[in-house]
Amino acid sequence: MQKAFTLVQITDPHLHATQEGTLLGMNTENSLKLIVDQIRQEVSDIDLIIATGDIAQDSSVQAYKNFLRFIDPLNAPMRWIPGNHDSRANMTEAVQGLDHAEPVYVLGDWVVVMLDSIVPERVYGNLAKDQLDILEQALSQYPDKYILVTLHHHPISMHSRWIDQIGVRNRDALTDLLKQHSNVRAVVCGHVHQESDELVNGVRFMSTPSTCVQFKPKSQDFGIDSLGPGFRKLILNPDGTIDTTVSRIEGVDFEIDYSQKGY
C-alpha cells in the first residue's frame, strides 16, 4: 500500500553548551524545548526529523549533545546538516557511531537528500563538488522516486539585500542539476529565520522559521522580527505532492534584543 510520510523540519536552534545561552537576547534552549513540546502536541508518528543547520551557536560538542537530548522525546529518526555556525568535526564527535549525517534517506517512493552547504569561517554558503555529486548520484540512482532536497543556506533570492549576500554562492550549479530532473519536488532550507514558499523556474523552494529568533522578511538591512519561534511539518504524499504547514509558538513573551545590528 502506498503511504504518506511525515517529516518535521527543525532549523537554526543556535544552542549553546550552557543553559543560559542566547541569540539576540532570546534563550535558545528554552525556545527549542517549547518547540519540541508543540511538535509533540501537533504531530504524531514522525517518520523523519530533518535538522537543517545552525544546530549550535557556539559549535561545542556539548551543544550537539544537548540537541540530541532535547529532541529525544519526539522519538523519531533524525538527519542533520551543518549551518554556518556549526562545526562538522564537533557534530561528528557528538554522534559517534550514529548515522545522523548520512545524506540520503529513502522513505518509500521518496528520497530525502541533505546537502552540506557550509564554507568554513564564512556566513555565506556554497555547494562543493562532493555535495553536487551526492545529489547527482541520488538523482541517477532513484529516477522513479520523488526527491526532496534540503540544505542550510537558501539557494534563491529572499528579496532582502543583506540576506541575499549570505545565500548559496553557486546556486546556478544546483539550478542546472534540478532542471534536468523533474522528480525533484522541493528544496527546503533554513538559515534565513523566516517562512517562505515560492516557485522558482518550476521548482518549489521553502524556508522555515528558526526555533529561536526570527529575521524580518524582505528587509534591505539586518532586521529582527517579532514573530515567534517555529517549525515546519511536511507530508510527502505517494502521488509526489507535498502538504506543508508552519507552526509557531503563540502567546509567549520572548525576550529579544532589538538593538543588535547583526548576528
Residues that bind Fe ion (CB under 5 A): 12, 54
**Which CB atom, from 55 or from 156, has the smaller least distance to Fe ion?**
55
Please tell me the distance from the alpha carbon of residue 108 to that of residue 5, in angstroms, as a whole number: 8
The set of long-range contacts for 205-209, using a CB threshold of 8 Å and a minimum separation of 24, is 205/154, 205/155, 205/156, 206/232, 206/244, 207/154, 207/158, 208/9, 208/11, 208/52, 208/232, 208/246, 209/11, 209/246, 209/248
Q: Does residue 84 contact residue 62 with C-beta atoms inside 8 Å?
A: no
In the complex, the smallest distance separating the C-beta of residue 215 from Fe ion, rounded to whole angstroms, is 9
**Which CB atom, from 54 or from 109, has the smaller least distance to Fe ion?**
54
In the complex, the smallest distance separating the C-beta of residue 152 from Fe ion, rounded to whole angstroms, is 8
In the complex, the smallest distance separating the C-beta of residue 124 from Fe ion, rounded to whole angstroms, is 13
**Which CB atom, from 12 or from 109, has the smaller least distance to Fe ion?**
12
Q: Which three cell numbers stand for residue 251?
A: 502567546
**Which CB atom, from 103 or from 125, has the smaller least distance to Fe ion?**
125
94 Cβ partners below 8 Å, 6+ apart?
61, 64, 65, 68
- Cα 202 to Cα 41, 183, 196: the distances in Å are 34, 11, 16
In the complex, the smallest distance separating the C-beta of residue 213 from Fe ion, rounded to whole angstroms, is 9
**Which CB atom, from 54 or from 116, has the smaller least distance to Fe ion?**
54
In the complex, the smallest distance separating the C-beta of residue 112 from Fe ion, rounded to whole angstroms, is 21
Please choose, from the candidates 165, 45, 64, 168, the residue with its C-alpha nearest in 3D space to the C-alpha of residue 115.
Answer: 168
